Amino acid sequence: MTPKKTLVIIGGGFGGLNLARKVDKRLWDVVVVDRNNYHSFPPLFYQVASSGLEPASISFPLRRELRRKCYRGCRYHLGTVSSIDTERKTVRTRYETLRYDALVIAAGTTNNYFGIHDLYKYVNTIKSTTEAIRTRNEVLDRLERASLCRDEEERRRLLTFVVVGGGPAGVEIAGALGELKRFVIRREYPLIRPEEMRVILVEGNDALLRAMGPRSSADALEGLRQLMVEVRLGVTMKGYDGRNITFADGTSIGTTLVVWTAGITGVPFEITGSDVRAARGARFVVDELCRVEGLDDVYAIGDIALMRTAKYPEGHPQLAQVAIQQGEALAQTLSGRQRPFVYRDKGTMATIGRNRAVVDMGRVHLRGRLAWFAWLFVHLMSLLGVRNRTVVFINWVWNYFTFSGSLRLFFRPDRYPLRNYWDE
């Protein structure tokens, strides 16, 4: 028997975990490196941000998952990989240098601010669990402050919520904020009139959910309008300073909360020992076997990989399904059964609000309550861990019948800086 080789996987997301699970552990010692000690579930971040679910329900400890039999031979290391040395075949985190025989970059994406001045300091984002928690806290903070504020202008500013970006994340968070306005304010904030709260969704293009079909775009627009969300299409944001958001057409709106969902980019790495750099959107160009072009024994899968095919000349959509299927294909390839990747499109979906979602599966288009139940079911079943599924199910049923908002909790960070936390 040949000695086992070391496979280092950067990222314990959909792609990385599926690869770790399915690759042949008789051939590979697998190390999953992730900056968080948990697998997270990005499709539901917006529900954390809008107090619909608690973060623990959509997070699953990686060590807990790796205890399962199908992962035997996999280890987890906490750490943020900052640099890759393709000559020495090592990756570095703050606390160690790991040697690899094969490396898989499955680190996903983060927010792209397109270089807009200081934007990252002022906007809220929902691309990670902690970002979603922060957004939740800030939304609740604005409502509390508005409750006590008697200055009319300041009050209006505190109660104006702007979402930038009309993709699924933007539509979903705008819908959730619309429901807050429509269903929650009257019951729980007696000092705020619901009509004082404004939710504005801004999209640079002329349609919402452009990655889906035109019927989904239209349904989303109609659904958001019924939730009293003001949708502004064809409007480009220029800047935001924490008090006013300005647009390319010269207009501006006073607001103290902007949720930025308008851009993503691959998580950045420093690469030494090679001239290869990530392509547009910081994605790594890969061939059909997920090999990063120009590098040996380095692969990329999921949102951070850019595989140009005849059907997808600009690369695949950055969706969980692509990552999962690429993890599977690469597992086969690394286990000695070379398998070029072919994406099987299972459809896309987005939720707008209570009883209202859109689903596109090939030519089939679902909308309204049926689509909404389909959305709930698919997302519930995709969660890791029976406990999490149970708790999420209970929360959803509860909220559906009670509009209860038992999770509208504002956990302020502790007063003293956390001493020993790992750096970025």
- Block residue for tokens 């090939």: 362
For residue 163, which of 261, 264, 51 has the smallest C-alpha distance? 261
Cβ nearer to a second copy, comparing 147 with 321 = 147
Q: Write the burial class of residue 55 (CB in 10 Å: 0-12 exposed, 13-18 middle, 19+ buried).
A: buried
For residue 30, which of 10, 48, 53, 50 has the smallest C-alpha distance? 10
- Contact between residue 227 and residue 175 where contact means Cβ atoms under 8 Å apart: yes
**Least distance (Å) from a second copy to the CB of residue 400?**
12
**Least distance (Å) from a second copy to the CB of residue 220?**
29
Cβ nearer to a second copy, comparing 46 with 299 = 46
Cβ nearer to a second copy, comparing 51 with 332 = 51
- The reply to whether 179 belongs to the active site is no
62-66 own/partner pairs: CB under 8 Å, 24+ apart: 62/12, 62/32, 62/34, 62/36, 62/37, 62/38, 63/37, 64/385, 65/12, 65/17, 65/39, 65/384, 65/385, 66/20, 66/32
**Least distance (Å) from a second copy to the CB of residue 66?**
8
d(CA 72, CA 333): 19
| Distant-in-sequence, close-in-space partners of 139: CB < 8 Å, separation ≥ 6 | 49, 50, 51, 161, 177, 180, 257
- Contact between residue 77 and residue 422 where contact means Cβ atoms under 8 Å apart: no
Beta strands per DSSP E along 114-243? 160-164, 198-203, 229-233, 237-240
Specify the DSSP class assigned to residue 23. Answer: S
**Least distance (Å) from a second copy to the CB of residue 165?**
19
**Least distance (Å) from a second copy to the CB of residue 398?**
5
Cβ nearer to a second copy, comparing 139 with 212 = 139
d(CA 137, CA 409): 7
| Distant-in-sequence, close-in-space partners of 292: CB < 8 Å, separation ≥ 6 | 105, 276, 284, 285, 286, 298, 299, 300
Cβ nearer to a second copy, comparing 51 with 326 = 51
d(CA 362, CA 354): 24
Cβ nearer to a second copy, comparing 52 with 223 = 52
**Least distance (Å) from a second copy to the CB of residue 24?**
20
Task: Return the exposure string of 302-318: e unless at least 16 CB atoms fall within 10 Å of the residue's CB, then b.
Answer: bbbbbbeeeeeeebbeb
Alpha-carbon distances of 419 from 24, 82, 214, 372, 411, rounded to whole Å: 40, 21, 50, 44, 19
Catalytic, out of 172, 179, 203, 328: 172
Q: Write the burial class of residue 325 (CB in 10 Å: 0-12 exposed, 13-18 middle, 19+ buried).
A: buried
**Least distance (Å) from a second copy to the CB of residue 266?**
18
Cβ nearer to a second copy, comparing 344 with 419 = 419
**Least distance (Å) from a second copy to the CB of residue 405?**
6
d(CA 55, CA 58): 6
Cβ nearer to a second copy, comparing 147 with 335 = 147
- Residues with active-site annotation: 172
